[in-house]
Amino acid sequence: MTIVSLSLEGKSMTTLSDVAKKANVSKMTVSRVINHPEKVTDELKELVFKAMKDLDYKPNVAAKALANNRTQVVKFFILEEIDTTEPYYMNLLMGISKELDKHQYSLQLVTENSFDLGQSDGYIITGMREEHNDWVERLEKPFVLFGENRYGYDFVDTDNTLGTEMATEHAIKQGYEKIVYVGIDVKEPFEFSREAGYINTMQRYKKVPEIVRFENRSRYSNRFIDEQFARYPKNTAFVCSSDRLAIGVERGLQKHEANIPKDYGVIGFDGVFLDQIAYPRLTTIKQSVVEMGASCATMLLNKINQKGAPQGNQLFEPKLIVRGSTKLKEE
């Protein structure tokens, strides 16, 4: 088991009385904001938090935890093989930890192969697959998922269907005749949603869909394009389910000295770092990863304060970022 604790505690000589004086409220009010923020107005919280920030006041997390019978710890479970140093997950963790910090919570990152729950007030879970459902069902503390799921659990994600609808429509409107979807070879809700967005848009424009799927690694899409290049005439665009796959498509096309974007278009999905190091730089569907991380934290803390009450789901609207891998049709 690997656990990285991102503790956000600190010490300060500033007292509760100093904060109360700065905010022009009572010590009891400051204490209520710190220990029971769900019971005070947003205006009051903003006033007290600003005073705390101005005075660099750090609450005694241990005392707060004892008073509330809580640990002030949230665990982030990663149930898939990932590199947590990748920009995508670094941005996600940044969003989660910053939001937790506002409420004097620390974050513990737990990688795969360990279901040792330990002491915490709740869980944020990513990478859940069907084989994990029995384990998730047995969780006794509040949790939310990062990523769509088919089991009715609370979750935060991008509107995946909208994302590929935007990408496919952009390719069509730029005049590409053949539009191919390059998907991730997983039977998961996010991928089903992305494929649905592509298929729906192709049908709306009375075009014939074509889908190929690979493991989410650029070398597989690279090899496919290299080997199957003759299948795809000029004026073809590839709508990809990730920037990683899109980079592989670009490289495969470049091996055949194909003209990107004049003869071939490439569109990615994610918009976190990889799209900017590609050449040409990728047109992509950008996800609000930091904001989604913050939303996961907010949703979980609300659920903890509401004794496990369902929170539903929140879908973030993605953005189409147009760069050099697709042509711009002259008006």
Looking at residue 4, its pLDDT comes to: 44
3-state secondary structure of 6: strand
DSSP string for residues in 155-207: EEEE-HHHHHHHHHHHHHHTT-SEEEEEEES---HHHHHHHHHHHHHHHHTT-
DSSP string for residues in 73-104: EEEEEE-S---TTSHHHHHHHHHHHHHHHHTT
Reduced DSSP (H G I as helix, E B as strand, rest coil) percent helix, strand, coil of the chain, to 5: 45, 20, 40
| Superfamily of domain covering 160-287 | Response regulator (3.40.50.2300)
Dihedral angle computed from the Cα positions of residues 243, 201, 315 and 114, in that order, rounded to the nearest 10 degrees: -50
Task: Select the CATH number that applies to the domain covering 6-68 from these four: 3.30.930.10, 1.10.10.10, 3.30.420.40, 1.10.260.40.
Answer: 1.10.260.40
Identify the band that residue 114 occupies on the pLDDT scale cut at 50, 70 and 90: low
- The order of strands in the sheet holding 236-240 is 211-214, 178-184, 236-240, 264-270, 283-286, 319-321
Identify the band that residue 115 occupies on the pLDDT scale cut at 50, 70 and 90: low
Q: Do residues 293 and 100 lie in contact, with contact meaning Cβ atoms separated by under 8 Å? A: no
Identify the band that residue 330 occupies on the pLDDT scale cut at 50, 70 and 90: low
Q: Do residues 238 and 264 lie in contact, with contact meaning Cβ atoms separated by under 8 Å? A: yes
Phi, psi of 160 (to 5 degrees): -65, -40
Give the number of other CB atoms < 10 A from CB of residue 129: 12
The C-alpha atoms of residue 282 and residue 246 are separated, in whole angstroms, by: 8
**Strand extents, DSSP E, the chain:** 3-6, 73-78, 106-110, 122-126, 143-146, 155-158, 178-184, 211-214, 236-240, 264-270, 283-286, 313-316, 319-321
Identify the band that residue 109 occupies on the pLDDT scale cut at 50, 70 and 90: confident
The whole-model pTM stands at 0.79
Average pLDDT over residues 171-176: 97
pLDDT digits (tens, 9 = 90+) for 55-70: 887 766 545 554 556 7
Supply the mean pLDDT for the chain: 88
Of residues 113 and 227, more confidence is placed in 227
Distances (CA, A) of 200 to 140, 196, 238: 39, 6, 16
Identify the band that residue 30 occupies on the pLDDT scale cut at 50, 70 and 90: confident
- Between 19-28, 50-59, 127-136, the lowest mean confidence (pLDDT) is in 50-59
pLDDT digits (tens, 9 = 90+) for 241-293: 999 999 999 999 999 999 999 999 999 999 988 888 889 999 999 999 999 99
**Neighbouring residues of 63: CB distance < 8 A, sequence distance ≥ 6:** none
Question: Hey, where are the domains in the chain?
Answer: 6-68, 160-287
Looking at residue 208, its pLDDT comes to: 97
- Give the DSSP H or E segment for 17: helix 16-23
Looking at residue 113, its pLDDT comes to: 58
- Tell me the pairing of strands 3-6 and 106-110: antiparallel
In angstroms, how far is the first alpha carbon of the chain from the final one? Answer: 57
Closest to 92 (Cα-Cα) out of 125, 130, 122: 125
Exposure string for 164-186, b = 16+ CB within 10 A, e = fewer: bbbbbbbbbebebebbbbbbbee
Give the number of residues written for the chain: 331
Looking at residue 6, its pLDDT comes to: 41
The C-alpha atoms of residue 245 and residue 191 are separated, in whole angstroms, by: 13
Phi, psi of 295 (to 5 degrees): -65, -35
Of residues 29 and 204, more confidence is placed in 204
Q: Is the dihedral of CA 240, 243, 245, 250 positive or negative?
A: positive
The C-alpha atoms of residue 328 and residue 6 are separated, in whole angstroms, by: 44
**Two structure tokens written together for 49:** 């938090």
Closest to 78 (Cα-Cα) out of 2, 188, 156: 2
Of residues 111 and 77, more confidence is placed in 77
CB-based burial label for 110 (10 Å; 0-12, 13-18, 19+): buried
Average pLDDT over residues 301-327: 96
